[in-house]
Amino acid sequence: MIESHRPNLAELTSPEVGELRSAHRPVTVLLLPVGATEPHGPHAPLATDTIISTATCERAVTLLAGDPDVRAVILPAMPYGVTRFGAAFPGAVQVSEATLHALVTDVCRSLAAQGLPRVIVVNNHFEPEHVQVLRAAVDTLQAEGAQITLFDLLRRHNVERLTDEFRAGECHAGRYETSIVLAERPELIDEARMRALPRVAVNMPAAMAAGRRDFAAMGMTEAYCGSPAEATAGEGETTLATLADMLVELVRDVARAASSSG
Domain boundaries, the chain: 9-251
Work out the mean pLDDT of the chain and round it to a whole number. 94
> Rounded to an integer, what distance in angstroms lies between the CA atom of residue 133 and that of residue 104?
9
Read off the pLDDT of residues 44-102 as tens digits, 9 standing for 90 and up: 999 999 999 999 999 999 999 999 999 999 999 999 999 999 999 999 999 999 999 99
113, pLDDT greater than 60: yes
Q: For residues 166-188, give the mean pLDDT.
A: 97
> Rounded to an integer, what distance in angstroms lies between the CA atom of residue 177 and that of residue 169?
12
Give the HSE-up count for residue 68: Cα atoms under 13 Å, Cβ half-sphere.
0
> Rounded to an integer, what distance in angstroms lies between the CA atom of residue 73 and that of residue 29?
6
- pTM (predicted TM-score): 0.95
pLDDT of residue 25: 78
Q: For residues 245-261, give the mean pLDDT.
A: 91
262, pLDDT greater than 80: no
Q: For residues 172-179, give the mean pLDDT.
A: 98
pLDDT of residue 6: 45
Q: For residues 119-129, give the mean pLDDT.
A: 97
1, pLDDT greater than 60: no
Q: For residues 203-207, give the mean pLDDT.
A: 94
pLDDT of residue 7: 87
Q: For residues 206-227, give the mean pLDDT.
A: 95
Domain covering 9-251 in this structure, CATH number: 3.40.50.10310
213, pLDDT greater than 60: yes
pLDDT of residue 258: 84
22, pLDDT greater than 80: no
More confident residue, 237 or 21: 237
Q: SS3 string of 184-209? A: HCHHHCCHHHHHCCCCECCCHHHHHH
77 φ, ψ to 5°?
Answer: -70, 150
